[in-house]
Amino acid sequence: MKKLLLVLALLPFIGFSQTKNMISSFRIFAKPGKSIDLEKALSAHAQRYHTGDWKWRVFEIQSGPDAGGYHIVEGPNSWSSHDSRGTLGDAHTADWVKNVEVLTEGRGSSSYAIIREDLSTVKASDFVDKISISHIYPKQGEGHKVEARLKKLKKVWEASGQSVVVYEAHFSGPPQFSIVYRHKEGWKEKEPGFRKPMKERYESIYGEGSYEEWLNSPSSSERSWGELLLLNPKLGSN
């Protein structure tokens, strides 16, 4: 009985330590004329070394400053599982360096992010093949203001039936929120008339004139940019 009570008492802490609210991602770019070779090597590497909780989802970046690159996502996982993962071994490193990295150019980029469920409308695991990402960089000390704006937008997204997941960068460069719009019905969601205009949707929740007030409020962002990405399941893990 004492053992059962001890287990029950520890459950909240066990659950907390295993919260799967972290994703890791990185981007790579093929050397000129090496895209086909890189894709073959990337697919083979992913299916050999990155499976289970650490499976890869590989997106082709369709637009924006990183167009032509590959966006590779791992997770969501917990920080505790990241602790216990350990090294991936010499064979993994050798395969990456000799077969994949040799076909890339530049340093690429790597980052960690926390899933902000309080700002999102769907679970991070509700994956789709076509996504749009808005990258927002708050001004120094004004991240809370960006959060407040996103909380208002969440109500609009929910009322509109939009699938949106918001990530916050974690010790990965400057502060950043990534708003990922998941297009369950494809790119046609971007067609005029698929949803009511943003102004109408916003004011249906916050009242007449609220949208213009929201647009004209002082910006708390240093900069922002957007991109379209398309999942290529052949490049990731099974």
- Per-residue model confidence (pLDDT) at position 15: 45
70 falls within a domain = yes
- Per-residue model confidence (pLDDT) at position 14: 45
73 falls within a domain = yes
231 falls within a domain = yes
Q: What is the mean pLDDT of the chain?
A: 91
| Residue 204: exposure state from Cβ atoms within 10 A (0-12, 13-18, ≥19) | middle
Residue 3: pLDDT over 70: no
Q: Which of 5-9, 35-39, 102-106, 206-210 has the weakest average pLDDT?
A: 5-9
**Whole-number percent of the chain with pLDDT over 90:** 83
175 falls within a domain = yes
The domain containing residue 206 runs over which residues? 20-235
- 206-218: average pLDDT: 94
Q: What CATH code is carried by the domain that includes residue 58?
A: 3.30.70.100
Residue 107: pLDDT over 80: no
pTM here? 0.90
Q: Using one digit for the tens of pLDDT, what is the confidence trace for 16-27?
A: 457 899 999 999
- Per-residue model confidence (pLDDT) at position 155: 98
- Per-residue model confidence (pLDDT) at position 88: 80
12 falls within a domain = no
- 176-187: average pLDDT: 98
Report which residue type is found at 119: L
Residue 13: pLDDT over 80: no
Q: Which residue has the higher pLDDT, 10 or 142?
A: 142
- Per-residue model confidence (pLDDT) at position 5: 40
* Band of residue 7 on the pLDDT scale cut at 50, 70, 90: very low
CA distance 85 to 225: 34
115 falls within a domain = yes
- Per-residue model confidence (pLDDT) at position 53: 84
39 falls within a domain = yes
Kind and range of the H or E run holding 14: helix 2-17
Q: Using one digit for the tens of pLDDT, what is the confidence trace for 51-67?
A: 888 899 999 999 999 99
* Band of residue 178 on the pLDDT scale cut at 50, 70, 90: very high
- Per-residue model confidence (pLDDT) at position 89: 86
- 91-119: average pLDDT: 94
* Band of residue 135 on the pLDDT scale cut at 50, 70, 90: very high
Q: What is the 3-state secondary structure (H, E, C) of 81-145?
A: HHHHHCCCCHHHHHHHHHHHHHHECCCCEEEEEEECHHHCCCCCCCCCCEEEEEEEEECCCCHHH
Domains in the chain, number: 1
207 falls within a domain = yes
CA distance 22 to 156: 25
- Per-residue model confidence (pLDDT) at position 4: 37
